[in-house]
Amino acid sequence: MGGTSGSGYADKVSRPSPAEDRELHGQVALLLSTRDQRYTAQRRQIVRALAKLGRPATIGELVEAATGVPLSTAYRNLSILGDADVVRRVGGADGFTRFELSEQLSGQHHHHVVCECCGLVIDAATSPTLEAALVETARAIAKANGFDVTEHRLELVGRCTSCRNTAAS
């Protein structure tokens, strides 16, 4: 396991170590070169920001974390990085698109926990039991509806600690 959190089950997905970080940029460069794209300073900044945040981030969070990358460049590069399977778009609970590193780069299949109050999204690992049930369901759905199901996304919706404390609402 990557950052080896130890507890393993349904825990917050861990942050990359420095060594993994170096490895990460190599992989990104490879993925980009496959599509005749350069790994420029701005793109590196964005990837670094994504890795540092360790959770699906909004454009606002990204341009803040990636110093000196303007909005238009961030959007364009996020789109390119998405085409190269470096980045995945995550539909937020609020109306904000969020971005995270693809699972082949972050290294772990995971799902999301969403705060319905502030829109915060964090990663969460799954259990083998859940995954087995999901795969089984996907197969049944595909059979029943003629869909070719290739992927599943799970969102646990609730309220984060700070929102629960701040507003009673």
Partner DNA sequence: CCGCGATATGAGAATGACTATCACTATAGG
Partner DNA sequence: CCTATAGTGATAGTCATTCTCATATCGCGG
Positions touching DNA (CB under 7 A) are 36-38, 40-43, 58-59, 68-73, 75-77, 79-80, 95-97
Q: Which does 1 bind (CB under 5 to 8 A by kind): DNA, a second copy, none?
A: none
Whole-Å CA distances, 69 to 38, 42, 56, 63? 16, 6, 18, 6
Q: Which does 152 bind (CB under 5 to 8 A by kind): a second copy, DNA, none?
A: a second copy
The closest alpha carbon to 124, from 8, 44, 2, belongs to 8
Q: Which amino acid is at 150?
A: T
Residue 149 · residue 134 · CB < 8 Å: no
Task: Identify the DSSP state of 69.
Answer: -
- Do you know the residue count of the chain? 169
**Residues of this chain that bind a second copy (CB under 8 A):** 7, 9-12, 91-93, 111, 113, 115-116, 122, 124, 126-127, 129-130, 132-134, 136-138, 140-161, 164
Q: Which residues, in sequence order, are CB contacts of 68 under 8 Å at separation 6+?
A: 42, 45
By C-beta, is 29 or 53 nearer to a second copy?
Answer: 53
Question: Where are the extended beta strands (E) located within 46-107?
Answer: 57-58, 87-91, 97-101
By C-beta, is 38 or 153 nearer to DNA?
Answer: 38
Q: Which does 30 bind (CB under 5 to 8 A by kind): DNA, a second copy, none?
A: none
By C-beta, is 95 or 146 nearer to DNA?
Answer: 95
By C-beta, is 33 or 104 nearer to a second copy?
Answer: 104
